[in-house]
Structure 1
């Protein structure tokens, strides 16, 4: 039963509203900017009242960016598609490799298991610049430079450690007795893993996959160095809006709105699994 008085309730609601305004204001302002021309964005003082226009979104979709110096070709939609290919493929490969590996680390204790797991996790925290030079030379030697396969391989440094360590914790929370009872019934290890372990750990797997997708989607350095313009994701392609005639703030705002839409849609779609997975992770142990 809620014993909070009317004054405390009012103060709490005011504080919650202030926090929401503080965090939501930049997002709302970006959305408003995306419907303004550069002149409207740069006017002083700024105003939330303006005549909306779709010229920024039209420029992104058609690939024709109009600046003071003339028309400029941009490949934003191609960059957006590259981000989808790289992020989805990287997470899918990491799930195929990381979920069985996480189960093995959770269920079987073998020599150097913790050292191997920690080494894999350390890849996530290593500075990207530390591995870029050797990776560039290595990829050039084996023909993987400027290829989707090469970038997806490198993205495993981002996605695989996250999935491995997050999912491992959920497998460790599943009682081995449940799997043992299923095995006694005559089922194989593979069927037990597929029918018992994975469904029980699904909230954690979904949460890890979503977080990995966000990290892969936001990656900048790897794609900047290892890919040319036709393979670069949207994070690198956004550099095209900084032109000799100035910075196209309206197009940048529209590009931000379009680029966060896939991750936002995925988060809403996986909201139930995400909340359940993070909640379970918060009370582990």
Structure 2
């Protein structure tokens, strides 16, 4: 595999890779995530936004791409930063690097990332990527390529008023003086999960934890509800249908 910068005529292949690699997100996530199907014309529009577009080529076929730009960060001095970032004016600035599904999990994404960094290493001091905190697959990919989590951004507009579908909340509560929440919906029942809930809990995980393939199987969720992994699982039931789940485990 080798990488090169965008050439006229690459736009159709890049659009196809984008739409294939992000198919689940395009079809399943709310508009707030800003995943959309793109055309060859959209790819050409990306190039009008001061970004560099790199492609990964294998046997004369484009199998992946990445959008990057170099920005100057102001501080005690000016530093050059390479950002693996989207050019599509996403409010959330998700990094945009993709490999066609047929070639994923074969190391090509890492090769593309590493080769891009090599091309810029003499002119930059840092490389920056962005991902949603609930996108564990992307986090694992960046960690594998030696990235270290540095900043966590809390987007008030989205996190408070329009929470993201897969947002995770981690909180420590003192149980001695824990007050019951107000304004509970009387039509929602909260109870311990039973094995009959396995299919519903599996579907909840498929929709919300898709990057963890293990947790989207019936067998895994059966063992999860049975407590094999040390968790106690509860479900929320609305008008006879399981619509949510939550679990906890004791930290000794």
| Higher Cα Rg, which structure | 1
Q: Give the alignment's TM-score, normalised by structure 2.
A: 0.21
Higher relative contact order at CA 8 Å, sep ≥6: structure 1 or structure 2? 1
Higher strand proportion (structure 1 or 2): 2
